[in-house]
Structure 1
Amino acid sequence: MKFHPLGHSHLKVSEVCLGTMTWGIQNTQVDADEQLAMALEAEINFIDTAEMYPTPPNEKTYGDTERILGHWLNRHQHLRGQLVIMSKVAGGGLSYIRNGSGLSGDSLTEALHDSLARLQTDYIDIYQLHWPNRATPHFGKHWPGKTDPRKTDVAAEIEGMRDILVAIDKAIAEGKIRHWGLSDETPWGISAYLKLCEEMDIERPVSLQNEFSLLHTKDWPYLIEQCVLENIAYLPWSPLATGILTGKYIDGERPPGSRWTYIQRQGLFRDKQAAHEATQRYQQLAQAQGISSAQLALAWCRQVPGVTSTIIGATSCKQLLENLKAFELELSSSTLKQIEAVMHHYPAGF
């Protein structure tokens, strides 16, 4: 396992981050324990969760992923100092989480208190803002006409960011979080926070989580360049595009228990013909190399300049083992050129 600096922090994290969002719906506590044991055996020291998890989010299971991880942490307290644990405060839009209110200093403080209790730990290494208050081109809204930045009240947005940063600064001073990061952000949002941090003398964000995969490359190269030059760790989530890149959903297939068999809060906006056609092409490339299409996608993501650690999840140890083996692979220049050819033909899968 290779390790990389996490942005400007002193932390070093494994190039694989264990995602946990299936724990509580698709996975039980026993499953989670098995996955964590396998991750530790592979020398993974990086774990990602969120108060909103598991997904698809719903009121009944809200917070259960943190509870499952917390139950494990309580039984393995001697390992806490060896791990880098990230969690996220939810933004607005979910009525059962703080009445659907957006992010603010008060909501962050309340959410952090509750997350620490569920995780059964005194501190969170990286506390992230799960999504911004304003409408942004994420979650299927990256096509023209889906968002209108002219409708953003910039002054109100900046004032809200100030309020959030005051709460973050207080949490760092109290030792409740070590560092903080962003998620599902844009270049403007990153720049605004960096400017405010300098103005307010508050620690800068150390990381950014955004969706990134062979089917969804909108951050490359421009946003990733900003992260690299500003010393912010770039952490791709959903590198398998919610499982499409495994090939399991081709021809309308819905394997029992798979993520797409559950009701989706935002609909299956990734279920597009181009995504499936591109996946079939990637499957052919992978078969020629004697690897799975999932491994091809993960190995590709790993080698993108600027990627610090890739967040992977699995619903079984068999899947997790297959995914972990991808990080032992080095794709040849010939294979990378063939991948590039497919990307030229399918520049945006969904």
Structure 2
Amino acid sequence: MKTVKLGTSDLMVSEVCLGSMTWGNQNTQAEAAEQIDYALDHGINFIDTAELYAVPPSKETSGLTETYIGQWLAEHQSKRGDIILATKIAGGGIPWIRDGAGIDGAAIKVAVEGSLRRLQTDYIDLYQLHWTNRQSAHFGKHWPGQVDPRKTDVAAERETKLGILQALDELIREGKIRHVGLSDDTPWGISEYLKLAEQHNLPRMVSIQNEFSLLHLKDAPYLIETCVFEDVAYLPWSPLAGGALSGKYANGAKPSGCRWTMQQRNGIFRDTSFSHEAIAAYKAVADRHGLSLTQLSLAWVYQFAGVSSTIIGATSMAQLKEDIGAYSLSLSEEVLAEVDTVIKRYPQPF
């Protein structure tokens, strides 16, 4: 598996990143360890987690995914240097995490200490802001009228961002984190952090992870252009649209234990009639070319221009093997043209 430089950092990460948000809910400690071992054996050196996880979030499972990874690290101390470990501070609105408060400098210092303790490590390679303090168009809120930017106090946003960067700078100087990144942000958010970093000689955001898949294309082309031009690594999350692009929910199916059977913090926002029509159309393309829907969907994201490393997740080893196996596929011009036809028919299906 190829590696790529993570933005302007000195980190070389695999082009596939192992996501972990089901660990502690749908997956046990032993299953998480098996996934880590398999991923490392197949060239993946990049693991992403968050203080919020497992997902769906709950007070009982909060931080449990980091704990699972920490247990694996404690049992494989010699491999810590082989792994690029990323985690995230939760944004506001989670009552059991810092009483639901948003992200500021003080919260970051508390959150980093908690993550380091659960992860059983002295440092975090990439520390990310899970979502913005301001209301943004993420998590299914990208339709007209759902977010009004005029309600954001821009001056207050900039002041908070400066405090965040100053706290991150202190933590880097202390050796507790190496690099910093964003999650679920916008071109404006990226640009503001980069501008503040340059103005005040503070850490530069080296990456952003946002939702991106055949069902969720709003980052192309504008946000991805910002990432390419500013050398910010783009890390798609949910490339299978929460599992929908595996085809498991076709014809109204809701397999036991799958994510759509569980209460979600932002609802099952991908479950729309247009989504199901789009999924069926993509499956028809995959069938015509001897591919599974999962292979088609992942290979399309893996080779999308401007993508640095794609965050995958699995609840079974069979799923993980298929996800990683899709990395070696190269979609032909004919397949890509057929995919484009479906995209034009269903550009925003949920």
Q: If the length of structure 1 is used for normalisation, what is the TM-score?
A: 0.99
After TM superposition, give the deviation of residue 251 of structure 1 in Å: 1.7
Aligned to 2:17: 17
Between 1:256-265 and 1:238-247, the stretch displaced more is 256-265
Structure 1 consecutive aligned stretches of length 4 or more whose deviation exceeds 3 Å: none
Give CA-to-partner distance per residue, 1:174-208, whole Å, 9 cap, x none.
00000000000001111111110011101211100
Matched ranges for 1:199-278 at <5 A: 199-278=199-278
> In structure 1, how many angstroms separate the alpha carbons of the residues matched to 2:6 and 2:165?
20
Q: What is the Cα-based RMSD across aligned positions, in Å?
A: 0.6
For 1:55, the equivalent position in structure 2 comes to: 55
What is the identity, as a one-letter code, of the residue corresponding to 1:234?
A: Y
Alpha-carbon deviations, 1:122-164, whole Å to 9, x = none? 0000000000100001011100000000000001111110111
Q: Which residue of 2 aligns with 1:171?
A: 171
**Within the alignment, does 1:77 sit opposite 2:77 as a pair?**
yes
1:203, 1:265 → 2: CA distance?
31
Distance in 2 of aligned mates of 1:309 and 1:234: 7
SS in 1 for 2:337: helix
* 1:55-134 pair list within 5 angstroms: 55-134=55-134
Distance 2:3 2:153 in 1: 40
Q: CA deviation at 1:260?
A: 1.0
Indicate the residue corresponding to 1:341 in structure 2.
Answer: 341
Give the aligned partner of residue 330 of structure 2.
Answer: 330
In 1, Cα distance between equivalents of 2:258 and 2:269: 16
- The structural deviation recorded for 1:274 is 0.8
Partners in 1 of 2:81 and 2:37 — Cα distance? Answer: 16
Moved more, 284-293 or 169-178: 284-293
The answer for unaligned runs of 5 or more in structure 1 is: none
What is the CA distance between 1:111 and its match in structure 2? 0.3
1:146-157 to structure 2, matched below 5 A, reads 146-157=146-157
Specify the alignment match of 2:287 in structure 1. Answer: 287
Give 1:323 shift: 0.8
> Distance in 1 between the 2:118 and 2:13 partners?
23
SS at match of 1:171: helix
Q: Distance in 1 between matches of 2:266 and 2:6?
A: 31
Q: Following the alignment from structure 1 to structure 2, what is the Cα–Cα distance between the partners of residues 172 and 319?
A: 36
Q: Distance in 2 between matches of 1:193 and 1:11?
A: 20
Q: Which amino acid aligns with 1:98?
A: R
Give the letter aligned to residue 82 of structure 1: D
1:274-332 Cα deviation digits (max 9, x unpaired): 11111111111111222210110000001111100000000000000011111000000
Shift of 1:31: 0.4
Counterpart CA distance in 1 for 2:17 and 2:349 is 24
Counterpart of 1:40 in structure 2 is: 40
Rounded Cα–Cα distance in structure 1 between residues aligned with 2:290 and 2:13:
29
Q: Which amino acid aligns with 2:255?
A: P
CA shift for structure 1 position 218: 0.2
Deviations 1:213-244 (A, max 9, x none): 00000000111010011000000000000011
Give the corresponding residue for 2:312: 312
Letter in 1 for 2:90: A
Tell which deviates more after alignment, 335-344 or 3-12.
Answer: 3-12
Q: How many residues align?
A: 350
SS of structure 1 residue aligned to 2:122: coil
Mapped partners of 1:49, 1:101: distance in 2: 20
1:222, 1:124 → 2: CA distance?
A: 30
Deviation at 1:115, TM superposition (A): 0.3
How far 1:94 sits from its partner (Å)?
0.5
Q: Deviations over 1:9-47 (max 9, x none)?
A: 111111100000000000000100111111011010000
- Aligned counterparts of 1:289 and 1:337: Cα–Cα separation in 2: 12
Give the match's secondary structure for 1:85. strand
In structure 2, give the amino acid aligned to 1:307.
Answer: V
State the alpha-carbon separation in 1 of the partners of residues 266 and 132 from structure 2: 17
Three-state SS of the structure 2 residue aligned to 1:117 is: helix
Give the Cα–Cα distance (whole angstroms) in 1 for the partners of residues 40 and 126 of structure 2. 19
TM-score normalised to the size of structure 2? Answer: 0.99
Equivalent-residue separation in structure 2 for 1:203 and 1:112 (angstroms): 16
Take 2:69 and 2:261, find their aligned partners in 1: how far apart are those partners?
Answer: 24
**Matching of residue 142 in structure 1 with residue 142 in structure 2:** yes
- Amino acid of the residue matched to residue 286 of structure 2? A
Distance across 2 between alignment mates of 1:277 and 1:246: 14
Instruction: Work out the CA distance in 2 between the residues paired with 1:265 and 1:207.
Output: 25
Is 1:303 matched up with 2:303?
yes
Q: CA deviation at 1:256?
A: 1.0
SS of residue matched to 1:314: coil
